[in-house]
Chains A and B, each alone.
Chain A
Amino acid sequence: MSLKLVLDQILNGFVLGSMYALFASGLTLIWGTMKMLNFAHGEYYMLGGYVVYFALTLFGFPPLLSILIGVAGVFLVGLATERLIIHPLLDKPGWEVSPIVATLGVSIFLQNFALKAWGERYKNVPYFIEGTLDVFGLRIAYQRLLVLIIAIIVIYAFWLFIKKTRFGMALRATAQDREAAMLIGINFHRVYMITFGISSALAALSAAMLAPIFLINPWMGLPSLLKAFVVAVLGGLGSVEGAILAGIVLGLAESFAVIIFSSEWKDIFSFAILILVLTTRPSGFFGTKEW
């Protein structure tokens, strides 16, 4: 194993892992705040990918604008989903499980809508920046570097948002004690709606970043959802910091696993890690007692 290969894999791991981190943060955010799982999370990822694709290729918008449109568009879809579908189920009997069917329905709808509207052929999203950087004999595609930089910025901004802003603190308060949050004047319905939107937007952003590296197709949602699930649980459901850490760890682990094992067994690898962690430390990295 040459140094070059190792460094290459580390970079890959970080790029992949940071996107896992963002994507999984959205999922864990919804769980932490609303105690529900969004089964359509993968489809928001898929939608984001498609919107960026069309913005770039059909409308010819520049990459930055395309990404913005993708993120904003899916943000709105997330808001609408919460308001129209999740909100009516809230606090009604069966609330522990009814959102599962609801989001499954949304997932099936979106997947097949994409299939019908955009066809089954995998789509190639063009790189945002062409070219490679030559560093110590190591060739790094600018695209990957860009993804990494954006990832760091977004993760940091997101973390700041959750920790320091008025809404971020309201979100955390609602997640930790909804009734007490109500008593300081927080309208938790609005918090839920915006949380859903943010979560979807994060999914879309990670798709926008990863799309040029992988391909776009209507079924990319499910495997991504499973991955996000593993990352979120590994980090401790409900903990954004955990999801970020776990995403990067998993990204790195997978990159190295591909070298050691073959790629067919790679997916078993992440599940095996998951089962191992959950058996020894059921609350994940930063999970709270309630696991």
Chain B
Amino acid sequence: MLELKEVDVFYGDAQALWEISFQVEKGEIVTLLGSNGAGKTTTLRTISGILLSRKGTIHFNGTRIDHLPPYEIVLKGVAHVPEGRRLFPNMTVFETLIIGAYIPQAWERRVETLQWVFSLFPILEERKHQLAGTLSGGEQQMLTIGRGLMAQPKFLMLDEPSLGLAPIIVEKIFTTIQDINRHGVTVLLIEQNANIALQIAHRGYVLETGRISLTGVASELLKNDHVKKAYLGLYEGVE
């Protein structure tokens, strides 16, 4: 469904990604692992069109999407849930979700989609008239994901949904991600928390200083020594 081929991305003169290539098949949950600064967010932002790649191609469902403006990429069915819960501080939960369905095809069905999002995250329905800025961390993360879902994407990209959240909330969110996936949405998941990511993912890639260093089926990666040392050891029993 999504295919990156030898993508180079620069911030000014500094290169951030080197010949990144990977695919995500329809229906999968694929995770991109890596520590801080590895380039995970950069990858997502390039896919969603905020950053421009200097070399390489990105294809979505067969069509090229690199160098398209972000709003056109959303129209194709790609939703990017950004890192750090980028919300609209002065909009209520309800307003945030509604505007999430901005694109024309989603706008018509926004009432139904809203019901679905509320069924996934009931707490959002409770707080629907509260300002986004006043929610707790976990609720904000749910809201950000919900907003992304309102666009009715076929492909959902999540940037570190577990960041800064308590384990219980993280579990809840990740279970919901699986629900979403079962609903027919392909998922690309960026995470530092390899443990939980690999538990729900089908396949994974490891990004290290701008390059893909490893790839494999989730169960294999869990057993991989390097992965265990670098990414799993940090998170075992902690949080």
Q: B-contacting residues of A (Cβ < 8 Å)?
A: 166, 169-170, 172-173, 176-177, 179-187, 288
Contact = CB atoms under 8 A, between A and B. Distances in A.
A90 to B, nearest CB: 13
B80 interface: yes
A172 B50 contact: no
Nearest to A189: B69
Contacts of B147: 184
Contacts of A185: 70-71, 74-75, 102-103, 151
A177 B88 contact: yes
The contact size tier of chain B is 20 to 34
Given A166-B107, A170-B99, A185-B102, A180 B88 contact: yes
Nearest to B76: A185
Nearest to B98: A169
Contact of B48 (A172, A176, A181, A183): A183
B79 A183 contact: yes
Contacts of A177: 86-89
Interface string B139-155: 00000000110110000
Q: Which of B49, B70, B82, B103 has the most CB of A within 10 A?
A: B70
Nearest to B132: A176
Interface of B: 48-50, 69-71, 74-75, 79-82, 86-91, 95, 98-100, 102-103, 107, 147-148, 150-151
CB-based closest 3 A-B pairs: A185-B74, A185-B103, A180-B86
B138 to A, nearest CB: 19
B102 A179 contact: no
A187 B69 contact: yes
Given A182-B50, A182-B71, A185-B151, A176 B90 contact: yes
Given A182-B71, A183-B48, A185-B75, A173 B89 contact: no
Contacts of B71: 182, 185-187
B236 to A, nearest CB: 33
